[in-house]
Amino acid sequence: MRTMLRITIDPLKGSEALKAGAMQKAIMGFVEKFKPEATYFTVDDGMRAGFFVFDMTGSDQMPAIAEEFMHIGCKITLTPCMTPQDLQTGLAAAGL
């Protein structure tokens, strides 16, 4: 299932993780393992943030996705998401 991972990074813990290389390791580890189709970084509500769109094949992947980010003080959100084609298919299936 196409899923969006949103990470928001605690400013203090994030700065420590960046200086130690742990943030870069967590991000690159995720990218190498899950091969997201899109990856973006920004500021969200005054905090460093990253967005990754990738295919999550099962809920059993949640610990592998989240634990390294949680370890360095990130807040994690996993949200199913759709492309415009997915939306059209879903609306048609709903009779809309």
pLDDT tens sequence for the chain (96 residues): 999 999 999 888 889 999 999 999 999 999 999 999 999 999 999 899 999 999 999 999 999 999 999 999 999 999 999 999 999 999 999 999
Q: What is the 3-state secondary structure (H, E, C) of the chain?
A: CEEEEEEEECHHHHHHHHHHCHHHHHHHHHHHHHCCCEEEEEEECCEEEEEEEEECCCHHHHHHHHHHHHHCCEEEEEEECCCHHHHHHHHHHCCC
What's the whole-model pTM score?
Answer: 0.89
CATH number at residue 73: 3.30.70.1060
pLDDT at 56: 96
CB 49, CB 42: distance < 8 Å: yes
Residue 88 zone, left/alpha/beta (φ > 0; ψ -120 to 50; rest)? alpha
pLDDT at 10: 86
Count structural domains, the chain.
1
Residue 68: give the domain boundaries: 2-93
